[in-house]
Structure 1
Amino acid sequence: MSTVDTSNSTSAALGAATSPTGKTQSASEQSDRFLKLLVTQMQNQDPLNPMDNAQITTQMAQISTVSGIDELNKSIVSMSAMLMQTQQLQAASLIGKNVLVPGNKLAVDASGNARGAFELAEGADAVTVQVKNANGLVLDTISLGPQDAGRLNFNWKAPANASGLTFTVNAKAAGVPVTATPLVVDTVRAVYNDGGQLNVELQGAGVMPFRDVKGIS
């Protein structure tokens, strides 16, 4: 009676990730291929030298692992799609609202009050904010004294007909500069999905990723 070599059955079933045409096989197709090979081997095995049960068990465990990974990947893709839909619904509720995003422009309301914010990477013993006009001329320097790490807001009374106002933050701790990220108040005009990335369209700052929104005011 002819015999079939079982030593490479796992590599034949699991290693053949592509069909003769070069098309990638799914875990289900690989599982079917493995089982057919296994049945053929058992039908043609040498009665005096039967297949090792431990080897069969190991091969079955391996193909089960491949199938499980395939199902896990499908679940992750499905969860990612659901997460994106949830984010879109949450972001849609921001339309028409003010948000804090990275930027150094000052928003001036109808009463002439300019609002700005920034984030300190660590505590500082001296923090100042310089307000500049459209030409880069310093209009005022606001001293905020020592501040802890985190987000800080400030207000400034803008002169009449002021436009194009920007600000810079200078922070130091024991004479060493502290990283300060300027934030701007802007209004959300629209929300949309661009190639799997959720973006917000802002009235002043234009389009930026939804993840860059630091807060809602």
Structure 2
Amino acid sequence: MTTVSNNVAPSSLVASMNSSRPASGDSVSETQDRFMTLLVAQMKNQDPLNPLDNAQVTSQMAQLSTVTGVEKLNVTVQALQESYQASQSLAAVSMIGRGVFVPGSDIALQEGKAIFGVEMTESADEVTVEIRSAAGQLVHTIDLGAQSAGNVPLAWDGKTDSGATAKDGSYTFNVKAVRGGEEINVATGLSFGEVASVSNNAQGTKLHVAGIGAVQLSAIREVI
């Protein structure tokens, strides 16, 4: 028979119960059973001259209700999280083989063709894109003129400002936006790549994009 010393106050039952809980956690019913076992044992072993106070027992029962309620909520949230992750995985798998735009400043020129883009968080009077070689040399400038908020897909045919054809390889680009004659920070570069595979881990669902690497599903700005 489980015994509890009569010098254990009723308010300590939940604390005692929680301290003895296995690290992996118990079910709600096991939590309730453990509490009732401790309470009944304490009442059997109470000092007749100093019986348990009804108000304290009532308060302890209220605390048990709170504990079990929280545990039920945790179970529900866990189930919702698993369902959400499963939905994310299904959505991500459907992107395999598709082209996506993600925040970045890299351009891959292949067979004289390259795709990239610009994300505008606000409108601008003038937007300019500068493409540079791996050594940082300016290769080509694209004048996009005035742009409103939204994504702007772009294509580069590999032609330089001098009219020559750039070699296939890796390039970078930066975006400048001007409004009212002043440069403003409302434009972000978008790199382009094809989704090769999908993985799941503790950090969530990730897409593995060719030429870019692993990116979060939330980083996708556009799919084509």
Query: Which one of the candidate residues 184, 188, 211 is aligned to 1:181?
Result: 188
Partner of 1:156: 156
Partner of 1:171: 177
What is the rounded CA distance, in whole Å, between the counterparts of 1:65 and 1:182 in structure 2?
50
The residue identity in structure 2 corresponding to 1:197 is G
In structure 1, the gaps of 5 or more residues are none
Given that 2:130 and 2:175 are in contact with CA atoms closer than 8 Å, whether structure 1 keeps it comes out as: yes
Q: 1:15-61 CA distances to partner (integer Å, 9 max, x unpaired)?
A: 12223xx9547465553343234324545668898655443332211
1:56 has 2:46 as partner: no
What is the rounded CA distance, in whole Å, between the counterparts of 1:202 and 1:83 in structure 2?
22
Report the 3-state secondary structure (helix = DSSP H, G, I; strand = E; otherwise coil) of the residue aligned with 1:115.
strand
Given that 1:9 and 1:37 are in contact with CA atoms closer than 8 Å, whether structure 2 keeps it comes out as: no
Number of aligned residue pairs: give it: 210
Partner of 1:191: 198
**What's the CA shift for 1:172?**
2.5
The residue identity in structure 1 corresponding to 2:179 is A
In structure 2, the gaps of 5 or more residues are 1-5, 160-164
The residue identity in structure 2 corresponding to 1:198 is T
What is the rounded CA distance, in whole Å, between the counterparts of 2:51 and 2:210 in structure 1?
76
Report the 3-state secondary structure (helix = DSSP H, G, I; strand = E; otherwise coil) of the residue aligned with 2:90.
helix
1:39 has 2:46 as partner: no
The residue identity in structure 1 corresponding to 2:104 is G
Partner of 2:89: 88
Report the 3-state secondary structure (helix = DSSP H, G, I; strand = E; otherwise coil) of the residue aligned with 1:94.
coil
Q: 1:146-190 CA distances to partner (integer Å, 9 max, x unpaired)?
A: 322332223333234642333210113331431422101210111
Q: Which moved more, 1:44-53 or 1:166-175?
A: 44-53
**TM-score normalised by L of structure 2:** 0.77
Q: 1:102-121 CA distances to partner (integer Å, 9 max, x unpaired)?
A: 222335576x4533212223
Identity among equivalent pairs (%): 36
| Superposition map of 1:1-217 within 5 A | 4=6, 8-11=9-12, 13-16=13-16, 17-19=18-20, 23-24=22-23, 26=26, 28-43=29-44, 51-107=52-108, 112-159=112-159, 160=165, 162-163=167-168, 164-174=170-180, 175-217=182-224
Q: 1:45 to 1:204 in 2, by over 3 A?
A: closer
Given that 1:120 and 1:178 are in contact with CA atoms closer than 8 Å, whether structure 2 keeps it comes out as: no
**TM-score normalised by L of structure 1:** 0.79
Q: 1:126 to 1:91 in 2, by over 3 A?
A: same
